[in-house]
A and B are shown apart, each in its own frame.
Chain A
C-alpha cells in the first residue's frame, strides 16, 4: 500500500513542469521565429523590396564599423535590386517596352514637368534613405590599399537604385517638355513631404555626401548667375538656406538617352597615417605571435647579431625607407584616384579615409556609368 502511494506521488511529480522551463521554451521559440524571419527576408530570392535592401545595407554598415578598417563589410552581400520606372501620362500602355521588355516595371503617371521633378527627387530621397543616408561605410578599399602596397584596390562602388524611362510619345501629347525638367532646382526649393527642410538640405545635412545631377564635363560650366537665381528663390515663402552642395546644370534628356539612372556611389582610400597604423599593427601582431613559437629565441639572437653588423643595418634601413617611400607613393596615387571620382561632390576625410559618398542622376548609358562606377553592386 505504501509502495503504491509512493508511486502515485512520483507520477504526480513527473508531470510537474516549472514556470521557468515554460518561459525558457517560449522565449526560445519566439527568438527562433524572429531569427528565421530575418534570415528568410535576407536570403529570399525575391529581392524586390527596398526594405530588404535597406536591411542588408544596415547589416553591412554595422559589419564595416565593427571590424578594423571596415573589412567586415566585404563579407555581407547587398540585396539591392534596381527599380525600373516608366514615366507616362497615358491611360493605356506606357510600360516603356523598348527600355524594359518583359520586365517588372513600376508605372508612374504624370501631368507636368513639376510632377516629373518631384518623382525624380523622391527617387533620389528613397535611394539616399535606402543606402544609409551616407552615414554608413558600405564599400571599403581592399587590403592592398590598407597597407599601401598597391593601387588596384581603390575603386568606386555603385548601387543603381532606379532606372527611369520616359514614355515620350504620351508625354509629348500632353505637352510635357522633358528639356524643361530641372530636378536640382526642385530639390533646392521644395520641402520633403511632411518635413520642414528641403530635399537638398535633407541629403546634405549632417553627413559627408553630395548630390550630382550631371556628368563630370558639365561640372566645369558652373554658373555664377545660376547661384544668384537660387539666392532669390524661396521655399514656400521662406528664404532658403544655401547648402554646401555642388551646383550643376541639369542635362536635358535627349532622344538618344531616353533613360536616366539614380546611382549611389562610394569611394574611399586610407590616409598615410592609417596606412602606417595598419602596417605597425600588422608587424606588432605578427611579432607577438612569432615570439611564442618554438625557436623564436634563436631567431631573435641571430637577427640581433646580424643587425649589429653596420652593413646589414644599413641595408635594412634602406629597405625600410624604400618600403615607406613605396607606400607613400601608393597612398598619393590612391588619393588622386579617389579625388577624380569626387571632384564634383564633397571630398572629405572621415576617420582617416579620403573619399566621398554621392548620389548621382545620370544618363543610363555605358559612357556615363563607366565615368563614375568601377564596380556595380546592385542586381539589375
Chain B
C-alpha cells in the first residue's frame, strides 16, 4: 500500500508554529543585542550633559551652546551642585533615566552657583540653543529664543 502524498493539517500547524517560534527567537536576539549595547538616547544625553557641564565649569564670559540631543530629554539642577539629565516622554525612556531615578549627573565646581531660568527648571536638549550668562560666580542657563 502506498503512503499518501501531501501535507496534513497537523504538519501545516507544526510549520507555522516553527516559523513563529523562529521569528520570536530572532526578535529576542535583537532585543538582547539592544540591551547589551545600551540605550543610544541615554548615551547621547550623557554626552550633551558632559559638554554642558564642562562649559559651565570653564565659563569665562557669556556664551551659547547648541544642544543636539534626543527628544524628550531634559537638563536640570539637582541639589544646586549637580547638573543632571533625565527622560520624560510618553514612551521610550530607559527606566533609570526617569527624573526621580536620575543617575546621570555631573558635578559643578564648588563656588559656582547655577540657576536655570526656565519654567519647570528644565531645559530640553533636543535641538536647542542654550544660553549661559555669567555674573561673578553666578551662572544662569536659559533657552535662546
Contact = CB atoms under 8 A, between A and B. Distances in A.
A262 B20 CA distance: 43
Contacts of A288: 16
A373 B126 CA distance: 11
B54 A102 contact: yes
A36 B33 CA distance: 14
B26 to A, nearest CB: 8
A264 to B, nearest CB: 14
Given A364-B66, A373-B127, A379-B47, A77 B34 contact: yes
Contact of B16 (A103, A289, A376): A289
Nearest to A364: B66
A365 B66 contact: yes
Interface in A260-301: 288-289, 292
Contacts of B123: none
A313 to B, nearest CB: 30
A369 B31 CA distance: 31
Contacts of B70: 375-376
B129 A366 contact: yes
A75 B68 contact: no
B144 to A, nearest CB: 8
B58 A75 contact: no
A369 B55 CA distance: 21
A75 B33 contact: yes
Interface in B1-39: 13, 16, 20, 30-31, 33-34, 36-38
A376 B45 CA distance: 11
Nearest to A67: B26
B33 A379 contact: no
A103 B51 contact: yes
A72 B30 contact: yes
Contact of B47 (A39, A102, A364, A380): A380
5 contacts: A39-B36, A102-B58, A369-B127, A378-B68, A380-B44
B33 A369 contact: no
Contacts of A77: 34, 37-38, 40
Nearest to A56: B37
B30 A75 contact: yes
Contact of B127 (A39, A81, A370): A370
Main secondary structure of the interface of B (DSSP, over half): helix
B36 A78 contact: no
B48 interface: yes
B113 interface: no
A254 to B, nearest CB: 16
Interface residues of A, number: 30
B43 interface: yes
A160 interface: yes
B138 interface: no
Contacts of A98: 63
A76 interface: yes
Interface string A352-380: 00000000000011100110010111111
Given A101-B58, A380-B48, A366 B43 contact: no
Interface of B: 13, 16, 20, 30-31, 33-34, 36-38, 40, 43-44, 47-48, 51, 54-55, 58, 63, 66, 68-71, 127-129, 144
Contacts of B128: 366
A375 B72 CA distance: 11
A366 B127 contact: yes
B40 A380 contact: no
B71 to A, nearest CB: 7
A366 B71 contact: no
B31 A75 contact: yes
A376 B70 CA distance: 7
Contacts of B71: 375
A101 B37 contact: no
B127 A292 contact: no
Contacts of B127: 366, 369-370, 373, 376
Contact of A376 (B51, B58, B68): B68
Contact of B51 (A63, A289, A369, A380): A380
A137 to B, nearest CB: 16
A42 interface: yes
A42 B34 CA distance: 12
A143 interface: no
A292 B16 contact: yes
A63 B30 CA distance: 10
A101 B55 contact: yes
A78 B33 contact: no
Contacts of B40: 77-78, 377, 379
Interface in A70-116: 72, 75-78, 81, 98, 101-103
Interface centre among A75, A289, A364, A377 (most CB of B within 10 A): A75
